[in-house]
């Protein structure tokens, strides 16, 4: 039996077959989940996402555009999901954005107000908007997870305003866990080590980060996306029925090392 047999979930937002959202979707499919997907409606994104999902066990995926910086897009997405699925058991928030011009070493002090606001809006506030829209579709409870990174609590040169946004995301998740607990909805974050995704490659000094993790982490290696997908599977399944408001690290133990 699969850990998610009979479960239905929504995943926002798959970008390509290297994204963490893709690895989560792939593992969910292997364990019996029926999934719907959000994507950012720009350029040829829909076609690219369809191709990526076809390789992850979703040959004919339910896709719907969703720009989480717009409340009306979030509302429309979850309304369409209700029409398609009725109710859902889990939601994955795997999205973030910050102007890459300010994701370079030594540029945090230069961050303009609008860039700061945009990063927190898309990367952190969106979890609140998504959870608010998702809760009515989870009458029997469920699981919401969001992706974060160690730069939320420790200075990672070059991560800059995204680190501030991820700190806000983690705090948002804890407050949501408290309020949604009585509805049997669990909310957790998953802190992945560096993975070669599109968003990660925009961070200044990313190659140095990979090398540093390999040298200093207890496991003496970097992680891969599938390891994050398997950890997400735990948080989405009933195996973690007593876990909420937590941050689970998948980073070869790097977060535990002082020097």
End-to-end CA distance of the chain: 43
Could you say which of 149, 175, 178, 249 is catalytic? 149
Q: Is 149 a catalytic residue?
A: yes
Q: Is 178 a catalytic residue?
A: no
Could you say which of 159, 175, 178, 249 is catalytic? 159
Reduced 3-state DSSP string for 125-189:
HHHHHHHHHHHHHCCCCEEEEEEECHHHCCCCCCCCHHHHHHHHHHHHHHHHHHHHHHHCEEEEE
Cβ atoms 59, 33 nearer than 8 A: no
Whether the bond into 141 is cis, omega within 30 of 0: no
Displacement of CA 9 from its chain's centroid (Å): 14
Q: Could you give the CA distance from residue 23 to residue 39 in angstroms, rounded to a whole number?
A: 15
Residue (of 95, 87, 94, 93) closest to 34 by Cα position: 87
The string over 201-218, giving b where at least 16 C-beta atoms fall within 10 Å of a residue's C-beta and e elsewhere, is ebbbbbeebbeebeeebe
* Torsion sign, CA atoms 30, 35, 41, 43: positive
Show which residues are catalytic.
149, 159
């Amino acid at each position: 039996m699969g850990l998610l047999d009979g479960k239905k979930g929504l995943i926002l937002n798959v970008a390509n077959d290297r994204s963490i959202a893709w690895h989560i979707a792939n593992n969910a499919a292997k364990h019996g989940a029926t999934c719907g997907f959000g994507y950012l409606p720009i350029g040829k994104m829909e076609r690219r996402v369809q191709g990526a999902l076809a390789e992850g066990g979703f040959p004919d995926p339910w896709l719907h555009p969703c720009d989480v910086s717009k409340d009306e897009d979030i509302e429309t997405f979850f309304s369409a999901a209700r029409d398609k699925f009725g109710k859902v058991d889990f939601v994955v928030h795997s999205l973030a954005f910050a102007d890459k011009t300010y994701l370079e070493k030594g540029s945090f002090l230069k961050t303009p107000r609008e860039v700061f606001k945009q990063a927190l809006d898309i990367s952190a506030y969106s979890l609140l908007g998504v959870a608010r829209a998702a809760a009515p579709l989870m009458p029997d409870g469920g699981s919401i997870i969001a992706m974060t990174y160690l730069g939320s609590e420790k200075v990672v040169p070059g991560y800059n305003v995204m680190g501030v946004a991820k700190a806000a995301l983690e705090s948002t998740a804890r407050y949501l866990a408290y309020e949604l607990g009585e509805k049997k909805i669990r909310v957790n974050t998953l802190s992945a080590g560096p993975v070669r995704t599109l968003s990660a490659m925009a961070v200044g000094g990313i190659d140095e980060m990979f090398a540093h993790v390999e040298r200093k982490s207890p496991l003496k290696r970097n992680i891969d996306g599938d390891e994050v997908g398997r950890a997400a599977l735990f948080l989405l399944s009933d195996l973690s029925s007593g876990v909420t408001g937590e941050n689970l690290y998948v980073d070869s133990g790097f977060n535990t090392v002082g020097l």
